[in-house]
Amino acid sequence: MYPEGNTGYSYEECRATADWLMAQTALRPLVGLVCGSGLGGLAELLKDQVVFNYRDIPNFPQSTVHGHAGRLVFGTLKGRPCVCMQGRFHLYEGYPIQKITLPMRIFKLMGVETVILTNAAGGLNQDFKVGDIMIMKDHINMPGFAGNNPLTGPNDERFGVRFPCMSDAYDRELQQLAMDVGTELGYGDFLKEGVYCVVGGPSFETIAECRMLHKLGADAVGMSTVHEVIVARHCGMRVFGLSLITNRAVMDYDSEEKANHEEVLETGKQRALQLERLVSTLVTRIGHNNFF
């Protein structure tokens, strides 16, 4: 069914994985959460948890990155049924792009209607500070320019159309709702919005690359999320994204600063509680505002 070199999953394989999971738990999630580096604490907020290790789920890849637990957690958040990926997959781990995004299709087949994705990112916008939380309003898909898109290969209409629109990828109502919630919680000083650019990694960007991305209109840069967003939108789910600015991208040749993964995890720890509170309140409001 797939051309040579394409390692996508058929509708039937995705269905089998979704059915396997639904046979193990009575919970039917309406919200899917994806935890970025150091942000796995979101999953701990879920009540009445049913937990699966990725290695035990048919067809599922495994997370190999420090700071990603590698567990799929079902539970309720303020009474809302949710499923949470505690750890995600990245191109730099060597997985085909269709495997990285497989969980989004599983989410859809389990009945998820809204996906909330979080990530750790480097700040390109000079007004951003370490610890800022950026609401994603749009993205730049650098691997996509080189033809590395999760929708490459045969299209199955049961998932979505051949040429999905991405100009409305990030739900504007959810963005506004998050801004309102953030203001209520007193997060106005560090809650921003902007454009996220995905790169392949795992090496951090050069100074010239950061300058280029900033000139192209990117406010933050990271190595995840966009591929999942494309597949989630292809499937018709609503999408909301948050980036935690964990380091400032180095833009100056005289600078002694260097990006490192430990700094990413440390910032995640410091700001995690506020990010968790923002997301959990948002999930409650999604239900309240009849977003389902």
Assigned domain for 4 exists? no
Q: What does the pLDDT average to over 2-22?
A: 80
CA angle 11, 12, 15 (to 5 degrees): 85
Whether the pLDDT of residue 48 is over 60: the answer is: yes
Peptide bond into 61 cis (omega under 30): no
Are 116 and 67 in contact by the 8 Å Cβ rule? The answer is no
Assigned domain for 2 exists? no
- pLDDT score at 288: 57
Angle at which helix 11-24 crosses helix 102-110, to 10 degrees, equals: 60
Q: Quick one: pLDDT band at residue 250, thresholds 50, 70, 90?
A: confident
**158 CB-near residues (< 8 Å, 6+ apart):** 11
Q: Quick one: pLDDT band at residue 65, thresholds 50, 70, 90?
A: confident
Catalytic residue among 63, 119, 125, 247: 247
Task: Pull the structure tokens for residue 20.
Answer: 């396997």
Are 227 and 198 in contact by the 8 Å Cβ rule? The answer is yes
Assigned domain for 161 exists? yes
**What share of the chain in percent tops pLDDT 70?**
94
Look up 120 and say whether it is catalytic.
Answer: yes
Assigned domain for 21 exists? yes
Catalytic residue among 18, 85, 93, 170: 93
3-state secondary structure of 5: coil
Q: What is the helix (H) or strand (E) element at residue 84, kind and residue range?
A: strand 80-86
Look up 2 and say whether it is catalytic.
Answer: no
**194 CB-near residues (< 8 Å, 6+ apart):** 125, 128, 134, 135, 136, 137, 218, 219, 220, 243
Look up 68 and say whether it is catalytic.
Answer: yes
- pLDDT score at 270: 75
Q: Quick one: pLDDT band at residue 287, thresholds 50, 70, 90?
A: low
- What count of Cα atoms within 13 Å lies in the side-chain half-sphere of residue 153? 18
Assigned domain for 5 exists? no
Assigned domain for 3 exists? no
Rounded to whole angstroms, the Cα distance separating 241 from 120 reads: 11
Catalytic residue among 43, 68, 220, 237: 68
Catalytic residue among 92, 179, 251, 259: 92
Rounded to whole angstroms, the Cα distance separating 78 from 284 reads: 6
| CATH number, position 218 | 3.40.50.1580
Q: Quick one: pLDDT band at residue 68, thresholds 50, 70, 90?
A: low
Task: Pull the structure tokens for residue 121.
Answer: 């990112």
Identify which has the larger pLDDT, 260 or 183. 183
Look up 90 and say whether it is catalytic.
Answer: yes
Q: What does the pLDDT average to over 200-211?
A: 95
Q: For the CA atoms of the chain, what is the radius of gyration?
A: 18
- Dihedral sign, Cα of residue 81, residue 178, residue 292, residue 229: negative
> 72-86 pLDDT, tens per residue?
999 999 899 999 999
Look up 167 and say whether it is catalytic.
Answer: no
Whether the pLDDT of residue 207 is over 90: the answer is: yes
- pLDDT score at 84: 96
Q: What does the pLDDT average to over 58-68?
A: 80
Catalytic residue among 113, 259, 261, 263: 261
Catalytic residue among 121, 223, 232, 237: 223
Look up 288 and say whether it is catalytic.
Answer: no
What's the per-residue H, E or C state across 182-219? Answer: HHHCCCCCCEEEEEEEECCCCCCCCHHHHHHHHHCCCC
Assigned domain for 240 exists? yes
Rounded to whole angstroms, the Cα distance separating 180 from 163 reads: 33
Count of domains forming the chain: 1
Whether the pLDDT of residue 118 is over 90: the answer is: yes
Assigned domain for 238 exists? yes
Look up 243 and say whether it is catalytic.
Answer: no
Look up 125 and say whether it is catalytic.
Answer: no
3-state secondary structure of 80: strand
Percent of the chain that is helix, strand, coil (3-state, to 5):
35, 25, 45
Catalytic residue among 18, 110, 120, 169: 120
Parent domain of 232: 11-247+257-288
Catalytic residue among 18, 54, 85, 90: 90
Give per-residue burial for 252-263: e unless 16+ CB within 10 Å, then b: eeeeeeebebeb
